[in-house]
Structure 1
Amino acid sequence: MRYYLGIDVGSVTTKLTVIDENAELLFRSYLRTEGGPIQAIQNSFRQLHESIGEPPIAGVGTTGSGRRLAGIMVGADVIKNEITAHAVAARHYRNDVRTVIDIGGQDSKIIFFRDGVPVGFNMNTVCAAGTGSFLDHQAVRLGIPIEEFGDYAIRSQSPIKIAGRCGVFAESDLIHKQQMGYKKEDLIAGLCIALVGNYLANVARGRKIEPVVLFQGGVAANAGIRAAFHKRLGLDIVVPENFQVMGAFGAALLAKRNAERRRTATNFRGAAQIAGFTCQPRTFSCTDCPNNCEVNEFYIGGDLVSRWGSRCGKWYNLSVSSSERSEEREAPLQAN
């Protein structure tokens, strides 16, 4: 039996999954990134190693906003954007899916399907209203555990109207209504309704939402948001069993597809090694031309393993250090 690993590194959470040859989920990890993606990735692999040891991994895929960093750290075979990963996961879960609503920690996405094929997508632009971080902030401000946020909304008998066209207005209006003495459940229910309206206006942008509708991402755990979508759309909202890790699951499916097509050995470094080595990113500015490119370097155990950021590509050679490059540039001038 061969196994495939997927990693989804987001701004708020880091997810890791392992699937077998039948695409059955064997392991999942869901951790807060807390501003430290390197530590979150290593902690995920510590959990993996403690849980199932060193499974024979045949392919690794990464996705999310930190997919490049994760890919370098673990030795990924496939690095894909989150739209692709979530679409593949949704299609695997329901081959009749027509719409995917995905709301994560910092961004919101919608993916449209026709005959099992993704035909379009939208993402939120500048407004983060309705995302996980926004809801976390409101839960803290109201003194309610985020796990209970949706339950409060469900208990409401008279939701309050909240201005939800942007996160700033929503919070301001929520505070104003709170100071008027409305109950927390009515405030939260009103907020959920407003945020769903914001999503449909700013993310879906007026496009028709057709069933089957899958709701993915961490916010799918919020019963209040689910109920608001159901009421607004008049459609059943299907939440996959592993809705929190669908991006990582999709990355694992992509790694499996890649391994079966290419039949090449994986670049995976190994769970124990990843959990234990030291990592350090560095950066410097190249002044060889007016572009002044910011060149990024990544070191594992003191060894330079990746470099990127120069427009001309000359810094892709890992054997050339910054000081060596300066000497090469100055040598002709000295000779003249």
Structure 2
Amino acid sequence: MPYFLGIDVGSVSTKLVVIDETGEIKFETYLRTEGGPIQAIQKAFRQLNETMGEIEVAGVGTTGSGRRLAGIMVGADVIKNEITAHATAARWVEPNVRTVIDIGGQDSKIIFFQNGVPVGFNMNTVCAAGTGSFLDHQATRLGIPIEEFGEYALRSKSPIKIAGRCGVFAESDLIHKQQMGYKKEDLIAGLCLALATNFLANVARGRKIEPVVLFQGGVAANVGMRAAFEKKLGLEIVVPPHFKVMGAWGAALLAKRNYERRKKPSNFRGVSYIASFTCTPRTFICGDCANNCEVNEVYIGGELVSRWGSRCGKWNNLSLSSADRPENRWDSGLSLRRA
């Protein structure tokens, strides 16, 4: 039986999903990226290799902020943005979905559907209040494991009003109220309500939220945030079973759709090979014109496999050697240009 892989590489977490021909998940893993997407991807494939071995893969899709690097590493057949991937998975899980609230480690987004088709979306801009990294920071500062953060909110009898216009104001107000001696559960419940209000104002931007509403992304594990959204909206919020890996699942479903349409062999490099090869990104500045393009390269096993960033297309040919040019010499991560 052929399988389909989906990889979602974000700034905070890296997810890998394997689905079968029916679209059901057969393997999933959720890892912290920890500033090393290459290492995180390879660790995920080592886990896959230990669990399922060298499986037959008919298609691979990548998504997330690191989707291009991931696509080059694994030999992806489909590279899609997060909105498309999350919308695809949401529609697969709930065909009647009308709204998707997705909050990850560094970004948050909302997707609107009509008759099963995505018709619009918004993302957070400069404010990261309510994202996973913000909640992690607040949990650490309050001395509470992030896994218990939401449970504290549910125990509150009198939530404290917290300023939630942005992350800076929310944290400042939380510290002020904490110094006044309020209970932790009331502080956390107030913070969850403030962050839900912030999301509806700055991400949803006043648009009507209609059921069925799916809540996905890592923050969906926080029952306090789920309760806060339900209180603010007056609607039931549905958290799907695989809420943490919806982006990767969507990427796998898109790879499956691509295979069914094209019936072409996959470019996938192989589970065990990806788990063990050496992958090195490099960059240099092309100084041949005033554009000063930053050209990016990826080497796998010492071989140049991809290059991008040249506006004029001069460096599109992989046979051109940047290392041999005196004005474009790459050395220990530094780019040197002829004055």
Match of 1:253 in 2: 253
Structure 2 SS opposite 1:282: strand
Distance 2:213 2:325 in 1: 54
TM-superposed deviation, 1:47: 0.4
Match of 2:157 in 1: 157
Alignment root-mean-square deviation, CA: 1.1
Match of 1:47 in 2: 47
Match of 2:56 in 1: 56
List structure 1 segments (4+ residues) > 3 angstroms apart after TM superposition: 323-327
Tell me the TM-score normalised to structure 1 length: 0.96
Aligned length: 328
TM-superposed deviation, 1:325: 5.3
Match of 2:172 in 1: 172
TM-superposed deviation, 1:81: 0.1
Aligned pairs for 1:218-229 within 5 A: 218-229=218-229
Distance 1:326 1:317 in 2: 18
TM-superposed deviation, 1:316: 1.2
Show structure 2 runs of 5+ residues with no match: 328-339
Match of 2:191 in 1: 191
Match of 1:299 in 2: 299
Structure 2 SS opposite 1:306: strand
* TM-superposition CA deviations, 1:193-235 (whole Å, max 9, x none): 0000000000000000000000010000000000000011000
Identity within the alignment, %:
81
Aligned pairs for 1:88-99 within 5 A: 88-99=88-99
1:36 aligns to 2:36 (yes or no)? yes
Distance 1:283 1:183 in 2: 51
Distance 1:323 1:224 in 2: 53
Match of 2:82 in 1: 82
Structure 2 SS opposite 1:204: coil
Structure 1 SS opposite 2:157: coil
* TM-superposition CA deviations, 1:227-267 (whole Å, max 9, x none): 00001100000000000000000000000000110110100
Distance 1:129 1:313 in 2: 40
Distance 1:296 1:172 in 2: 40
What letter matches 1:315 in structure 2? W
Match of 1:111 in 2: 111
Distance 1:193 1:112 in 2: 22
Distance 2:228 2:6 in 1: 31
Show structure 1 runs of 5+ residues with no match: 328-336
Match of 1:315 in 2: 315
What letter matches 1:37 in structure 2? P
Distance 1:3 1:322 in 2: 38
Higher helix fraction: Structure 1 or Structure 2? 1
